[in-house]
Amino acid sequence: MRISFAFISLLFGVLSCAPKPAPVEPEPKPEPKPIPVFETSYEAIANMGVGWNLGNTLESLWAGDTDGRDWKKWETGWGQAVTRPELMTMMRDAGFGAIRVPVSWGVHMDASGKVYDEWMNRVNEVVDYVLDAGLYCIINIHHDTGADEELAWLVASPQGYERARARYESLWKQIAERFRDYDQRLLFESYNEMLDDSRSWCYASHSIGYDAEAAAGAYKAINDYAQSFVDVVRATGGNNSVRNLVVNTYGACNGAGDWNPHLLDPLKNMRKPTDKVKDHIIFQVHSYPTIDDLPAMEREVGKMLDDLETYLVPLGGPVIIGEWGTFSENPTLENYCYYARWFVAECKRRGIGTFHWMNISDGMYRSIPCFSAPELTEAIVKGYHGDGFTPVIPVLEDYGLDYKVTFNDLWSELNLTSSSVSLDEYKGITFELDRSIPADQLHVKIYGDGEDKYQYGKFSGTSASVTFDPDKIGTKAERITLQLLQEGSLTITVKSVHLIRKDGSLEPCTPSPFWGCSVELIVSND
């Protein structure tokens, strides 16, 4: 078949006249997100100032037979008030710059390891309270570690790590994703005081004497948990790619003491997790020395701080004392204040952060809020800021108060006064309630100075006075309570409580929970 050249030329001309498709523009490549810039771990320690623990609150492990979703009962299960934003404002005005918020999680997770929304939301609220007050905040995994064999599911052993790894990493992924966009004032802490299979304090395998293989496994597990923590948090991206992260030694041990050669092992065996970014890891230990002998305290604590600088700081990160207080049973206020001021100042001088453990505002005092230990509070903040600093330290006496008391069940007791009362000085007690009470609902219970020495006082109406009977209680009243006499709960408001002195004058008392009840302080309108 022949096709002429002219036909081919004509065909080519027709085709060449057809419209050409428009060129496809390549889609613009998205601009890479800039890597957030956060202060380094060293800068964070300097900028956060002196810290305090919101203790016995979100880490509580007792709320009766209560579902893990009921955050309010868990938050108050250890006698604390529901946390309010005003508490954080008070801490800021007193001179604190950071709050550690211990959080337990295991009782607030379903079988698959998902945190209940109600609990995560409440943790989020408390974090916001802290940050909105302009403070730094540390959140952690708290009583999921420790000595409780039933509830402490994070254990420092190779087997414990493998058993818990998936759940642990899932938990940190959930926490990190919830707070991914928060700024540099929020820090994450890997775990609290994680112990080995034998629940050993001081150093690994202490409870079983010393087993070198078991101890080595425990220290490796601690480092494995720390590495998992860093890897999971960094993988969530956003601000978590540079967030400052806190890792604890075994049991948060600090190496103090000279009674055993293995005391320094938790420091010697700690490793800095491998990280994608430089200078964003902080090491944490805890410290509770005895303070009855102040020169001895200074020597012991000074040696402890030296050891932290010898073993942890060279790993490439600063140190915080995430909890500190004292193991002395009955320290004098003078000794405690001296220790607090000296300790905070010395740690600041060395570039070590400090977070006091909780008791400067405790229990019902947080509901006002005010300080339950004002002298100690002043010692702490002046230890950090110096003598020229003027803290704002509200105390109970600054307010006219009512006491809203909830008795939870039969035989619950409220302390009218929990201190010992000598019958040589006092002849009775009187109190006033906000409403009339039937005689079968409550009675006064007075604990005497020996076994089986009790005095009971029935009353009805809005007020009552009870005269002490030495034939029943002896020479002193060890404790005076209001006790519930009915099944179920009862809520009343106590307007006032006074001890009656021998001369008839009145001495005010502060009611407080004994057991089975809670107390909320309310500013009265009187």
Residue 7's pLDDT band, with cuts at 50, 70 and 90, is very low
Residue 10's pLDDT band, with cuts at 50, 70 and 90, is very low
pLDDT on residue 12: 40
Kindly list the domain boundaries of the chain, sorted by start residue. Answer: 41-398, 401-523
Q: What is the pLDDT of residues 210-229, one digit of tens each?
A: 999 999 999 999 999 999 99
Q: What is the pLDDT of residues 130-151, one digit of tens each?
A: 999 999 999 999 999 999 888 9
Q: Which of 290-294, 473-477, 511-515 has the lowest mean pLDDT?
A: 511-515
Give the pairing type, strands 512-515 and 413-417: antiparallel
List of long-range contacts for 209-218, beta carbons under 8 Å, 24+ apart:
210/262, 214/157, 215/262, 215/265, 216/269, 217/157, 217/158, 218/156, 218/157, 218/250
What's the pTM?
0.83
- Radius of gyration, alpha carbons of the chain: 30
Say if 41-398 and 401-523 have the same CATH topology: no
Cβ atoms of 209 and 262 closer than 8 Å: no
Percent over 90 (pLDDT), the chain: 84
- State how far Cα 37 lies from the chain centre: 28
Residue 53: in which H helix or E strand, if any? strand 51-53
Cβ atoms of 443 and 410 closer than 8 Å: no
pLDDT on residue 504: 95
Place of tokens 């993988």: 235
pLDDT on residue 176: 98
Cβ atoms of 229 and 190 closer than 8 Å: yes
Q: What is the pLDDT of residues 285-319, one digit of tens each?
A: 999 999 999 999 999 999 999 999 999 999 999 99
DSSP 159-215: HHHHHHHHHHHHHHHHHHHHTTT--TTEEEE--SS---TT--SSSTTGGGS--HHHH
Residue 16's pLDDT band, with cuts at 50, 70 and 90, is very low
Considering only CA atoms, which of 250, 178, 189, 187 is closest in space to residue 214? 250
Residue 42's pLDDT band, with cuts at 50, 70 and 90, is very high
pLDDT on residue 77: 87
Residue 62's pLDDT band, with cuts at 50, 70 and 90, is confident
pLDDT on residue 129: 98
Q: What is the pLDDT of residues 389-406, one digit of tens each?
A: 999 999 988 988 899 999
DSSP 469-518: -HHHHTTEESEEEEEE-SSS-EEEEEEEEEEEETTS-EEE---EEEESEE
pLDDT on residue 21: 60
DSSP 417-469: E-S-EETTTEEEEEEEEEEEE-TTTEEEEEE-SSTT-EEEEE--EEEEEEE--
| CA dist., res. 353 & res. 342, Å (int) | 14
pLDDT on residue 469: 97
- CATH says 41-398 is which class? alpha beta
ω into 369 cis (within 30 of 0): yes
pLDDT on residue 20: 59
Q: Is the pLDDT of residue 525 over 70?
A: no
- State how far Cα 389 lies from the chain centre: 26
Higher pLDDT, 15 or 347: 347
| Residues contacting residue 101 through CB under 8 Å, at least 6 positions apart | 54, 57, 58, 123, 126, 127, 130, 137, 138, 139, 140
What tokens does 209 get?
């004497």
Phi-psi region of 409 (alpha: psi -120 to 50; beta: other; left: phi over 0): beta
Measured CA to CA in angstroms, residue 154 lies from 138, 268, 296 at distances of: 19, 22, 35
- What's the mean per-residue pLDDT of the chain? 93
Over residues 511-520, mean pLDDT: 89
Q: What is the pLDDT of residues 85-94, one digit of tens each?
A: 999 999 999 9
What tokens does 428 get?
């009775």
DSSP bridge pairs for 172: none
Q: Is the pLDDT of residue 186 over 70?
A: yes
| 2.60.40, 1.10.890, 2.60.120, 3.30.70: CATH of 401-523 | 2.60.120
Residue 48's pLDDT band, with cuts at 50, 70 and 90, is very high
Higher pLDDT, 206 or 526: 206
Considering only CA atoms, which of 411, 479, 473 is closest in space to residue 442? 411
Q: Is the pLDDT of residue 243 over 90?
A: yes
pLDDT on residue 397: 86
pLDDT on residue 152: 95
Q: What is the pLDDT of residues 251-266, one digit of tens each?
A: 999 999 999 999 999 9
